[in-house]
Each structure stands twice: as C-alpha cells, then as structure tokens.
Structure 1
C-alpha cells in the first residue's frame, strides 16, 4: 500500500525541485526591499466547521494570509481571490461569500482587486496577497531561521482556545459563560495579530504564524535555526483551558500545543530587547507574552523537561 504523503513532504518535494532553499510562509520579492507575497488555500471539507457561516468562511480565507504577513511585520495591500464552487451552490451562499470578502477587506485594510472562478467538487478559496513591510531588523523580513541561544520566545497571545472551541462545536464538549464564548469565537472568527506584528517585528530574530499549532510552529523555528526551544506550559496556556479539559476528559497539553487553528504570532528576540518590545506592545495596545527561551541544540522542543511531538494540523495526514 502506497504511503499517503503529508503536507510537509509535498512541500519538500516541490521546494527541492524548484530550488527554494529558505522555506517560509511569506516570500520577499526580489529587487524590492519592502514588498512581500503570500498565498493560502482554504478547502471547505478540511478547514471549515459546519457551524461556520458563509461570510465567516470567506473572511477566514483572508485571515490566513493576513496573519502570515503580520508575523513578518507586513501589512496587506492587495489580494486576488480564486474560487472553486461546487454544483448547486445558491445565489444566497455566493452573496454571503462576497459579504465576507467585503468585511475582511475593510477589517484588514486589503483591497481585493480581482480573481477567478471555476467549478469544483468542494468549496475552495485561494487567496494571493501582496504585502508591504513595516520597519524590521536591518530592513529585512524576519525568517524562521534566525533564533539564537539566549533569545526569549514571545507570543501575541496564549494557546488552547480554538482547539477548545472546535471540541465544543464538533464533539459536543461542555463549556459555559465567557470561556465558551471566547473559545467558539476564536474558532469561527479568528483574529490575526496585525498590530502586534507591525509594531514588534523590528525586534524579532525569527517569527512564524501559529495556525498549524504551537508545537509545530516552535519546531519550525528550532529546526531551521539549529537550536532547541524550552516553552513554559503555564505561560503558554490560555485561561480556563486546563479546567475545560478536565471537565471534558480531554488532554490540555493536546489543546495547547497541537490543536492548531490559532492565528497568534510566535517569535524570538534577544532578551535585551524585551523592555523596548514590551513598551512598543503597550503603545500599540497589544499583549506580549514571554512563553519560553532558546538554548543551544539541534532542533528539539520541550515543555519544561517534557519533549513535545513535532505535530500539529497537517493537510493530507
């Protein structure tokens, strides 16, 4: 039986064939100091919970690109949208998709300038986005490969809400009050951390968007930078996740580290820059959370002394 390739293996095949040595979610455009490019694809059967309304689906397809740009300190400028639409889709559904694109355009400051449509067996939305860099270290986009021993690991938020929200929506997990509202909202209407990225990217030695999961994102930085990362579970865990997991016989570590669908920014920076970064975050109205540290190593990630699996959300897996 032929082994099914996962997303990382497929990307590796194409990157080797095309000579792409520096893998990242955002690509700088040759000859330009500040233009960057990003593309992302949403497929309804793998990326959309049944409770998500059409306008939220369209908005999420823009969120994915805006979040990756934000992690590099870039703001969206223009996007093109390609739609694969299944047979029998109604006019009302298409109008709701259009409304979602309109909402995202205004919310994230990106002008949608065109695109393409075609027939497909599933709803598919592909977003291609051009972004403009803000001030960064030496006018260069922070990569995944720049983390150094002694750096602090920082994040724009804490982790576990989207996975908890999906457990409520898809598996009937029990939650109440503010926690339920926050968890479900984070799953249906994720918020890219644009202000955090544009205000703080100048301090980053490396950065990544965490939509594939916190553990997988930290591994990307650790492996590409040739370092180890120690993350503080208590500092990374969102309020209420431990209690929610216990009440529903779920693994809180799984929700925090491997759930995915989070659009937080995870970055490293020299510890000496933390005071300035915290001041910049406060001025921009953002939270900055120190969730770990970078040490010498060969690409391992641990929560305290507990090794983490290099696992998150992977298409085709």
Structure 2
C-alpha cells in the first residue's frame, strides 16, 4: 500500500502544488484549510460525541493558529453510520456549537451522507495578508515551540492500553487526549516573527523534518521538551520517553523558527501576551536532517495508511 506521503505527492504533482502545507493563502487574503476526522483511526476509546466533534474543529483551528490566522467561518460535512442514534447526533451538534464559541468561528453550513463509520470533514477560512510557510527557515534561526511534548501520547497509552498512571499526571494526560487545546493565542501573537511554522499533531519529529526538508536546512535540538512526569510514566510502564516526546503525535502545539534578529521582539511579545515561548534548538546548513544533540533523529510519527 502507498504511504500517506506518497499519495500526497501523486496529487501534488498532478495538480501542480509546489509548496505543500496544511494551509493555503489564496487571493484577496483568503486563508483556506480543510481536515478530515475518521472515527476508526482518530477517535480513541472514551471520547464522547461532543468531544469528537470538537476535535474535528480543533484540527483546523490548530493549523490556522500555526500561521497566526484567526478562523472566520467553517462548514462541516458528516458521514454518519445508519445505526447512529439521536442522542449521538445531538452530542455531535453540541460539540460543534461549543467549538464555535470557544474558537470564535462561525458554523455556516455543511452536508450529510451515509457512511460505514463516522467521518467528519471540516473546511475553514480565515483572512491574512501574509503568513509563514514551511519553507522559510534559514541557518542561524532558533527553533521554538508553544509547549512541551509527551503528555498526550502518555494519555493515549492510558486510554488504549491501560497503562499505569496516577493523580494529576493521569488526569492531565487523559484530558489532553479528550479535549486538546490548540495554541491560538501563541500563534496569533507570535506568527509575525516566524520564518517557518507548522502544527505538531503528526508528532514533533515529523514536524521538525517537514520544516527542515522543505526549507533545505538541518535542525539541531539542544533541549528535549519533555512534559513533567513523562520520564517517570515511561519508566513505570516500560516505555521509551524519547518515543513519547518525539514520535507520539496528537499534540496540537506549534513548532516554528525565528530569525535571531526578531527573537527579542518575539520574547517581549510573548511576555506581554502572558504566553510561554520555549527555545529548544537551532537551524544550520544542511540537506534537511534533524538531530537531537549529535544523534540523528528518526523521522517517524503518526502517518495514515501505516502502522504506528
């Protein structure tokens, strides 16, 4: 079977899409984004209908946030199984209504059809005169992130494999899976300083490789951004903390690069907005590789049509 990347490359080649990104800036400042949620691959055990609907919106909001774009309006297409109950549909509707208020995006319509399992396709627009791409990282830039990593993959281990976890760590890990928080404030406040950016939902390693590869540079990570408690959780469950941090996925953080000439202004803007700006690495000349210290990082994470 073809990999997700191979499938995307086929369509990009046929359609003449040169710079692959999850968000497109069109004429007249229109920013367009679409994302699909498939229940069989994207909905973990324990997720309520309203949380499923909200997650489908989060995926679009997060990608727009990585570009500094506030969503304006969205349309939802639903594929629903024949045995779908009224309470389940009402739960989905409540989730969309709640997400609309939470993220400041108008739900203006959509489409429904029958499907073998739940499918939600969310299309969203916003407006911007310009936005960072994945191709702009330059040697000398610093690598920044909006938050730490490993908590959500730990939550997935708890929900899907009954991994051991207790107290506040368990609560926050599970909550990060069921109710992910896209970094809207971070992106909207700081995107004007980015030379490149991406949402991290496919995993930190894949996100870093996307920026490095499309920009034609190497990235070196000097500080491993592990969330508090991840190391202990990994030890208690016979897991690899490095895997959780770099290869887990499902975390809606923002990964970006900032030229050193803009860094002090970005730090000041972050402080003024009351948000954390984590500097974890640097950009160097190179063919598109990513290193943690001096060790080459494996390029893997969440990929559709493949096994985790």
Task: Give TM-score, length-normalised by structure 1.
Answer: 0.95
Structure 1's consecutive aligned runs of 4 or more residues displaced over 3 angstroms after TM superposition are none
Are 1:42 and 2:37 counterparts? yes
CA offset at residue 177 of structure 1? 1.4
Cα deviation, 1:95-141, whole Å, max 9, x if unaligned, reads 000000001000000000000000000100000000122xxxxx521
Give the corresponding residue for 1:231. 221
Give the corresponding residue for 2:273. 284
Give the corresponding residue for 2:229. 240
Preserved contact between residue 25 and residue 130 of structure 2 (Cα < 8 Å): no
Match of 2:293 among 296, 304, 314: 304
Give the corresponding residue for 2:245. 256
1:270-281 matches, cutoff 5 A? 270-281=259-270
Alpha-carbon separation, structure 2, partners of 1:36 and 1:288:
25
Alpha-carbon separation, structure 2, partners of 1:186 and 1:282:
24
Are 1:143 and 2:133 counterparts? yes
CA offset at residue 282 of structure 1? 1.7
Paired residues, number: 306
CA offset at residue 66 of structure 1? 0.2
Match of 1:113 among 108, 116, 123: 108
Show structure 2 runs of 5+ residues with no match: none
Match of 1:93 among 88, 92, 96: 88
Are 1:11 and 2:1 counterparts? no
Show structure 1 runs of 5+ residues with no match: 134-138
Q: Secondary structure at the match of 1:140?
A: coil
- The two structures, once aligned, show a CA RMSD in angstroms of 0.9
Preserved contact between residue 137 and residue 283 of structure 2 (Cα < 8 Å): yes
Give the corresponding residue for 1:136. none
Task: Give TM-score, length-normalised by structure 2.
Answer: 0.98
Alpha-carbon separation, structure 2, partners of 1:285 and 1:16:
43
Give the corresponding residue for 1:28. 25
CA offset at residue 232 of structure 1? 2.8
Alpha-carbon separation, structure 1, partners of 2:260 and 2:232:
32
